[in-house]
Structure 1
Amino acid sequence: MGKYMVPPWQVRGKLCAIGLALVTLFVSLASMATRAEAQEQTGSCIDSSLSARAVVSVARYFNEPLREGNGEVVGEQATAWFYTSPRLLVTAAHFANDFPDGAWQDVELRQAAREGQVEIATRVRLRVAVKGRISEGPRRGPGPTGLADDVAIMELQDPFPNATVLDVQSTAPTPDASVMVVGYPDGRMQVARGIVRRVSDAVGRYAGLALVEVQGANRLLLNAGASGAPVLDCAKGAVVAVLNGLLTSPSLPFLPPQYAVVPTPWGSPTNTAVPASALAAIRTCIP
């Protein structure tokens, strides 16, 4: 039986029922050997190689494997990026929620190779400095689900070597703005261009969130493992939002299992993100 990692959102069926898959990755170790091709980019945007130096894949391994179907769950993985210093990382709160409160935790950070250099892969210790609160279970009555607070700041015990820190935009991203996302779905760095879409359900399930449509043929690109990825404004390169979910269409019963996840239609959002302004509120709570 193979050992693999599975995403926390698999056990949050009530959230998945509304079509929002929280995308922290628990990935098959076998699938991690396959490197996806970088998505083709068009148009004018910031140089992704500069922002990529600030983004890492973060993996937490369990002390003992957990049984899951016919295999064993060995850990979980997400995307994180450096915020204000080489010791502070931002990610999605739904990844950080299972970390022990205030305790140092062993994790693995990976960063894709720069030209002429090897990939960085290192074991580090970190702890959750502060995190937003996200709701579990179905929403009752009008109002936000709490997903707009799905961000966390983690503190490294030692600074990450040669880390680049990203700037943050205090205002929410505007509809039709061009953005770029740097993330680690399936543990492999991907750079995706996108467009911010208008939130039509402003007081319902997506209240307080930004909606992004990924450009390119792979509308499911920013799936498992991409949670926590920075959404960057193409003009200035500042972080405008933090990726936290995948939007899908209802599955069709006659489709084979490999096509069970159906992407949203063209012209509609593919992912949800928490506006970066949420970081200002929780940053004041860092001990």
Structure 2
Amino acid sequence: MKKINCASLKVTETIQLKNIPTFINVETSEKKKEKELQKIREKLSKLQDKMYAHNKYGVLICLQGMDTAGKDSLIREVFKEFNARGVVVHSFKTPNSSELEHDYLWRHYLALPEKGKFAVFNRTHYENVLITRVHPEYILNERIPEINAVSDITPEFWENRFESITNFEKHIATNGIIVLKFYLHLSEEEQRQRLLRRLEEEKHNWKFSPADLKERERWDEYQQCYEEAINKTSTENAPWYVIPADNKETCRYLVAKTILEELQKYTDIKEPELDEEIKENIKFYHDKLSTEV
């Protein structure tokens, strides 16, 4: 299997999505990729247990991508070995009436992981600079002072949002949350094929919505918005990784491998040592339990 340097997927300078491949050949079979993913899952599971015991870091995994990019299946396959108590998945849809009574980051604050746990954002706080840029009329639902019409939304408004998001991520990173952001980079042709499969395979019909086709017509706008959001917000505290997503198995493998490699850099994550008094009396406790009838 071809070795992939996950660091090469990290956004450290200005990118153009059109110049980044949506497919990468790892030169192996789907079965072999699944075996490699399984090995990584097992390592992540053990690391999760250690982080839970260590109880100082939380991990926030952010997943973004166009419709059909494979976010749901990736979550299922990458995190299936995790202890259920240690990982929570949040799918952020259109804000409800309660959420609209607060600022746009409020609901994301509420979903942040506890120390020792993982949170996966399936669609994220970046929807507030993605879908709202393609559909700026959605901003009016937020009832922001001095924003009374779409014409009131200036370029400075979006710059302020990027700055707020960057500050939000810096703040949570400073307080012990490890932030890893993944853009699942899908080609327009592969999306067309996946939408066709939703229509052709009855068991997948429920996933299809006519709205998917309307949004697809604005593909170029979305690509431009993704590109700008990634370039403006990929930082050392909260880096973006652009993951080729035309092959789902490869995409899952690369995301899992990146998460593992990044978390392994935190060499201070260790299981806590027993209190000295307990250590000294382990034999006593063992003997006491062993003699119980």
Higher RCO structure, 1 or 2 (CA under 8 Å, sep 6+): 2
Higher-strand-fraction structure: 1
What band does the TM-score fall into relative to the shorter chain? under 0.3
TM-score computed with the length of structure 1 as normaliser: 0.23
Q: Which structure has the greater CA radius of gyration?
A: 2
Question: Counting helix residues as a fraction of each chain, which structure ranks higher?
Answer: 2
TM-score by length of 2: 0.23
